[in-house]
Structure 1
């Protein structure tokens, strides 16, 4: 089983929370993804390119990624969103002449056929619940404090 991108990053709890609640917008670009923070009054002034290598956000153009230890909120926000990572990886694969993975089964389901919860990727995410658990109400961000 492939490791979740978040398990390959170091970041603070504060960074993790900001990566989850700020209003980020994403645009795929050849090098990775352009992340715009729509939480700011002038979102265009808060737009940074995050580089993806082997399915992991490795670099961001923002000042925090350059001057502080650990991953910035932009890199963490991209890592949280596995479908985004997969789209970027597929885009990079196609650009390199490869064929994207299509119709793959998800790594782990959250609900079984009888609607009982099954294992999710939360255990791989250190202190963060996965997006699916937050979205469906199984876990909340407050539980991580």
Structure 2
């Protein structure tokens, strides 16, 4: 995800402005990012799911995304908010069976902080309902234990 998603989208200046100033609210879903427009009097009638693939908002359920050239304001709004792109990408990696980002990226195990991280990841799972051989979801999600242990 080294390239800014905006550089891969085509959109108008008007769309870019609306993507920045409208009061959007974001919720991660299994399908992507639900974008609710809080600027409307009835925001619940103005929410659409934006599909993100490889860090790029590629589609939106809104009518404008189907009827006009270029990306709609919902796709642009997701693209300009890097933490949202990172969160949906991490969710997709985890859902697809990958490890959460950061749980396996560090290879330098030197220094006191690395040692405390290693100690935390090898501690026994404190969730008794899963038994000793199978970690709970929270331990896997946080990188404390892996399914291979």
Length-normalised TM-score, structure 2: 0.67
- Classify the secondary structure of the residue corresponding to 2:58: strand
Structure 1 residue 82: Cα displacement? 0.5
Q: Which position in structure 2 is the counterpart of 1:96?
A: 96
Map of 1:69 onto structure 2: 69
Aligned length in residues: 104
Within 5 Å, give how 1:1-145 maps onto structure 2.
Answer: 2-102=2-102
> What runs of 5+ residues in structure 1 fail to find an aligned partner?
105-145
Q: Which has the higher contact order (CA 8 A, sep 6+)?
A: 1
Deviation at 1:69, TM superposition (A): 0.4
Aligned-pair RMSD on alpha carbons? Answer: 1.4
Q: Which has the larger radius of gyration?
A: 2
Moved beyond 3 Å, runs of 4+? none
**Within 2, Cα distance between the matches of 1:57 and 1:37?**
17
Displacement after TM superposition at 1:100 (Å): 2.3
TM-score, structure 1 length as denominator? 0.69
Q: Which piece of structure 1 moves more, 72-81 or 92-101?
A: 92-101
| 1:137 aligned residue | none
